[in-house]
Amino acid sequence: MQFMYLPTLRALFALDARNAAAAIHALQTASRYDLALGRVGFIGRFGGLYPIYVRGLAYLAARQPAEAAAEFQRIVDHRSIVLVDPMDAMARLQLARALALSGDTVKAKSAYIDLLTLWKNADPDIPVLKEARAEFARLP
């Protein structure tokens, strides 16, 4: 709680106050535990990679898309930790956005295609899916 969830909440409050630097700073404590599971064996837990996700959001807010993309890529690379948590899909969306902001349209398109493939059977009226499709369509 003290080393993962509280820093993440502090970072979210900082992001809400439009203070990306404070959000990044708040998550320094959590970085030691980013991929820690706490026990051996098959466990499914929600929120396991939220500090990484919020750090990625903070980097996006700080206009550091390369750093943001690296954080979101860590979640995609460790998707077995998130299991059915929507964090996997949201990290893919944010990865695509970060890559687009960094100017890497080839990788951004690939990330959007991966996301849209994952969501191919989703309700087409979900706002975040509509946004993702529109963002993908705007890529050169």
Domain ranges of the chain: 5-138
Cα separation, 17 vs 70, in Å, equals 24
3-state DSSP assignment of residue 129: helix
**Per-residue confidence of the chain (140 residues) as pLDDT tens digits?**
666 778 889 999 999 999 999 999 999 887 766 665 544 444 445 556 888 999 999 999 999 999 999 999 999 998 777 776 788 899 999 999 999 999 999 999 999 999 999 999 999 999 999 999 999 999 99
pTM score? 0.85
Q: How far is CA 35 from CA 47, 48, 92, 136, in A?
A: 11, 8, 18, 30
User: 4, 33 in Cβ contact below 8 A?
Assistant: yes
DSSP-based helix, strand, coil % in the chain, nearest 5: 65, 0, 35
For helices 87-102 and 65-77, give the axis angle rounded to 10 degrees.
150
CATH topology of domain 5-138: 1.25.40
Cα separation, 37 vs 42, in Å, equals 10
